[in-house]
Chain A
Amino acid sequence: MLGLLGPNGAGKTTTLRMLSTALKPDSGQIHINGQDVVARPLVGRKSIGFLSGSTGLYGRLSAKENVEYFAKLHGLKGRALKTRCDELFEVLDMGSFLNKRAEHLSTGMKQKANIARAVVHQPDVVVLDEPTTGLDIMTTQTVINFIRELKSKGTPVIFSTHHLDEVALLCDRICVIDRGVSCFDDTLENFKVKGQSQELNQAFLNLLQGVAHV
C-alpha cells in the first residue's frame, strides 16, 4: 500500500494518470506484472483499476448498468459478468439502489457504485487519486473500508491524498513528490524519522522544506 504525497501541483495526478495509462510519459517505463504498460497500454488497462474523488458515473444509467457497462468494456460477459457483479453488489451492500439511476443516488451510493466499477475486472493494481477529497465522513469511511479490503486481499494499491491520517491508517510505504521529483520513498517510520517529527503533518512540512533548502 503506497501513499503518494505532495503539495498541490507537485505532479501526483500526472503520475497516477501515467501509471493508469491515461497519459503517456515522455520517458521511462512502467511495468505491471512484468508487462510494459507504456508500450502496451491496452494490456496494462486490464490490470489496473482507477478511482478518484471526482470520478463520475453515467447519470442516466442505473448503478447496476454503470458497473455492468464497465465490466463489458473489460471483456466480461455472460455468467462470469453476472457472478462478478452480483458478488460486488453484495460486498458493497448495493442491493437497495441497484436499479436507481445514478443521477438520483446519494454521494455515498455513487462512490460505492464507483468502487464496484473500478474493480469489476479484478485488477492486479488499484490506483486511487485523492479518492476521499470532497466526500463526507460516511462516504469517506466507505472508501477507507474498500481500501482496507483490498489490502487484506493483498492487492497492491497506490493512492494520492492530502489526508495524512489516512496515510497513517493504511500505508506501508510513502512516496513524496515535489515539482515532479520524488524526494522521499520509504516506510512510514522512516518518513517520521526523516521528517524529524512524530506528527505526520509536521514531518511532511519539514521534509518539503528540507527539499527546498537543497
Chain B
Amino acid sequence: MFEVFKKELLELIRDKKTLFFVLALPMLVFPVIMALVGFLGSQATLKAEQKVHTYYIVNEQHGQAYAERVFYHKSFKKYAGEETFSSVEELKQAVRSGIIDVGIFLQSDPQKELSKGKQANWQVVFNDAQSINFIYDRLRSLANEVSENLREQTLIELGIEKEKQQAILQPILISKVDTADKRENLGEKLGAFIPYLLIPLVLMGASYPAIDLGAGEKERGTLETLLLTPVTRTQLVLGKFLTVLLSSLACATVTVLSMAVWVSVAISFVKLDTVKSAFSSVTGTDFLLIFALLVPIAAIFSSLVLAISIYARTFKEAQNYMAPLSMGVFLPIVVSLMPNMELTAKTALIPVTNVALAIKEIIKGTVDYGLLTMIVIASALLATVLLAFCVRWFSKEEVLFR
C-alpha cells in the first residue's frame, strides 16, 4: 500500500495540472481574482460616485429650497436644453431617450400641504436598473434636509422649542445591550462564509487527482497491469485513497494559509479594528479544530470521488460525473446558512452541514466539544463505509472492465 501511495504521490507532484489546481489556484489565483474583483468594483463605485447627472425639475416653484440644493450639488447638472416637460410621463420619456438622466416631479408645495395637515408627494424619475446608482439616495437625502427644516420651523411656530422637538417626535429611545462579544457577532457572519469557501475546495482538491488515479489509469491502459500485481485490491484502493486525501487536505490547508496571509496583508493596509480584534481571539487551537473537522470530510469526498472515478471509463466521463457532485455539495452548506440553523445533536449527524455549522461555532467561540466529537465520529464512520464501498467497487469486474 505504501509503495502505491509513494508512486501516486510522486506522479501527482510531477503533474502540472494538479499542482495548479491544488497549490497555485488557492495560493495565487483566488487572491488575484478577489483583488481584481475588488479593484473593478471600487472603480465602478468611484465612477458612479463621480458621475454628474443631468436633471430637470417640473414645478420648481413648489420647492425652491430643494431646487437650490440640487442645483449646487456636485453630482447634478441642470438640463440646459430647450425642451420642456410637465408630467411624470414626459419625464419618463425624456429619461428613456437619454435627454436627461433624472427627472424630479414636485406635485405640490410641502409648506402649503403641511398647513392642511397633509404630506407633499414628490417623484424621482430615473433608470434604477444599474447596479451601482447613487441618484435616488442623494436626491432623497436633499429632500430629507428640506423636510427636516420645514418640520423644525413648523414646530417652533407651534411654540415647541428646538431642544424639546426630538423628545416629542420620539418619546422613547430604545437601544440594545448585546451579550454577544465582537467575536460571536462577527463569527456568526464570517463563520458562515468560511465553510462555503473551504468545503468546495476540499472537494476540488480531491476531484482532480481522483480522476487521474481511477479513470486516468483505465484510459492510459495501466490499470490492468496494476491489477495483476500481487497487491490486494484493498491495498491498492488505500494507496490511492491516501493520495487523494492528502491532495484534498493540502488544497484546503493552502487555501486557509493563503487567505490568512492575504487577510493580514489587507488588514495592515486598511483600518479594520473590529475585524482585527475579533480575529485576534481565534486561537491556533481553533484552527486545529477546523482542520480536524476537515479531515473526515476530506475522507468522505476522497472515497466518493475515487469510487466515481473507478467506475468511469475515461477521464472525460469521470469529469461529467463530478460536475453534479460539485453542485450537490453546495446544498448541505446552504442548509447550514438557513436562519436559526444551529448545531444540535440532530444536525451533527447531517453530513457536510454538520461540519459547516461546527466551523461557524468554532469561529464564534461557542463550540460544544461533545457535538464536535460526535461530528468527527459520524463523518469518520461515513468515510469508512464509503471507503469500503470503494474497495468493493474496485473488486468488481463489471466496474473495472466496463
Contact = CB atoms under 8 A, between A and B. Distances in A.
B228 A48 contact: yes
A69 B3 contact: yes
B243 to A, nearest CB: 13
A52 B221 CA distance: 10
A60 interface: yes
Contact of B401 (A23, A55, A75): A23
Interface in A33-48: 42-43, 45-46, 48
A73 B230 contact: yes
Contact of A42 (B3, B14, B226, B232): B232
B162 interface: no
Interface in A4-36: 17, 20-24
B3 A60 contact: no
A46 B15 contact: no
Contact of B228 (A45, A54, A61, A75): A45
B397 A54 contact: no
Interface in B1-31: 3-4, 7, 10-11, 14-15
A57 B223 CA distance: 10
Nearest to B221: A56
A54 B225 contact: no
B68 interface: no
A70 B225 contact: yes
A61 B10 CA distance: 8
Contact of A54 (B221, B232, B401): B221
Contacts, number: 67
A56 B222 contact: yes
Interface string B212-229: 000000001110111111
B231 interface: yes
A75 B231 CA distance: 9
Interface in A53-101: 54-61, 65, 69-70, 72-75, 101
Given A43-B230, A60-B14, A61-B11, A72 B3 contact: yes
Contact of B229 (A45, A52, A61): A45
A45 B229 CA distance: 6
Interface string A104-117: 00000000000001
A185 to B, nearest CB: 25
Contacts of A204: none
Given A20-B228, A52-B221, A65-B7, 15 more contacts: A45-B228, A45-B229, A46-B230, A50-B225, A54-B221, A57-B222, A60-B15, A61-B7, A70-B225, A72-B3, A73-B230, A74-B230, A75-B230, A101-B14, A118-B225
The 3 closest A-B pairs by CB, nearest first: A56-B221, A73-B229, A56-B220
Interface of B: 3-4, 7, 10-11, 14-15, 220-222, 224-232, 397, 401
